[in-house]
Amino acid sequence: MTNSPLLVTGGTGTLGGHVLPLLRAAGHDVRVLTRGARPDADGVRFVTGDLLKDEGTGAAVDGVGTVLHLAGGAKGDDVATRHLVRAAQRAGVRHLVYISVVGADRLPLGYFRSKLGAEQAVADSGLPYSMLRAAQFHDLALKVAAGMGRLPVVPAPGGLRWQPVDSRDVAARLVELALDEPAGLVPDLVGPTVYPLAELVRGYLKARGRRRPALPVRVPGKVGRAYRAGDNLTLAGAERGGRTWEAFLAERVG
Ligand SMILES: NC(=O)c1ccc[n+]([C@@H]2O[C@H](COP(=O)([O-])OP(=O)(O)OC[C@H]3O[C@@H](n4cnc5c(N)ncnc54)[C@H](OP(=O)(O)O)[C@@H]3O)[C@@H](O)[C@H]2O)c1
């Protein structure tokens, strides 16, 4: 395709890894911003930069019409996104697609606050945008469950629930958004089922053929209250990914 390439930040990550082939299959050239260096391959060109340090940002967005901003870390997504937004404004980007997290506007935790700051940078930028809040990915649930499953006794935080979603379903939705007109904040995307965290761990242990005793614990303070109130969930009005946690476990662990 001779059209301008799409820029994918975070194209080397879990979500990005699912997004790239979908964009390529739709016939688009893709540019990926990464802090590392990689050889170009199959219509994907890697450019080096660091959004937190604001290095390489201008070159990454140069000549790009649509940006899928998927880069993220435990900290600083607000700062990184402000840098990207400023470069995108200068470059005249026509559509900025951002992945946020369910509960960004509610949970009193640093990661969620920085996602909200990033959302605000996008929404206040004046750039046409689409923004999707997704629930925790199955990949993350697996990492958490595997970590907790290594303990001799598994903590079971009362009232803490997740509705994990498959990162392939999130990727498909983001590509759909990127190839359509800017839509603003769209309905949240969550997984098909709500699980107590302890049940996710139990499912993982079962798939590994293991059992561990559970120890009920209470998450203290306002974070605990927010989780018990379900502030990290979207129980009504969300779109639901089709792939289940059980199917994911069977693929990855079974
Ligand atoms: N994981 C979840 O459960 C979940 C749920 C909802 C929303 N999200 C959001 O979805 C996005 C992708 O998550 P993921 O789990 O796929 O992430 P991931 O696998 O941890 O990958 C992170 C990506 O961000 C890039 N990155 C990190 N810091 C960067 C920086 N300073 N400059 C440029 N690139 C940087 C990394 O690129 P290099 O290492 O190549 O530089 C990598 O491609 C994130 O924004 C995350 O907040 C995740």
Instruction: Kindly report, residue by residue over 185-239, the tens digit of the pLDDT.
Output: 999 999 999 999 999 999 999 999 999 999 999 999 999 999 999 999 999 999 9
Contact 70 CB / ligand 1 (< 6 Å): yes
Are the C-beta atoms of 217 and 158 separated by less than 8 Å?
Answer: yes
Q: Is 206 in the pocket of ligand 1 (CB under 6 A)?
A: no
Cα gap 178→131, rounded to integer Å = 10
pLDDT of residue 126: 97
Give the pLDDT confidence score for residue 127 in this predicted structure: 98
Distance 213 CA to ligand 1 centre (A): 33
CA distance 182 to 205: 42
pLDDT of 22 reads 98
Among 7, 20, 31, 35, which is best to mutate for testing ligand 1, by the most ligand atoms less than 8 A from CB? 35
The alpha carbon dihedral of 20, 25, 30, 36 has a sign of positive
Coil, strand or helix at 212: coil
Taking 50 as the pLDDT cut, the residues of the chain under it are 1-2
Cα separation of 42 and 47, whole Å? 15
Question: CA-to-CA distance for 222 and 120, rounded, in angstroms?
Answer: 23
H runs (alpha helix) in the chain: 14-25, 57-61, 77-91, 110-123, 138-149, 167-178, 197-207, 221-228, 245-252
Per-residue confidence (pLDDT) for residue 254, from 0 to 100: 73
Query: Quick one: pLDDT at residue 2?
Result: 45
- Distance between Cα 72 and ligand 1 center (Å): 4
Which atom of ligand 1 sits closest to the CA of residue 140?
A: 3
User: What is the β-pairing status of strands 129-134 and 154-157?
Assistant: unpaired
From the CB of 34, is ligand 1 less than 6 Å away?
yes
Of 118, 111, 105, give the one whose Cα is nearest residue 79. Answer: 118
Q: Is the CB of 10 under 6 A from ligand 1?
A: yes
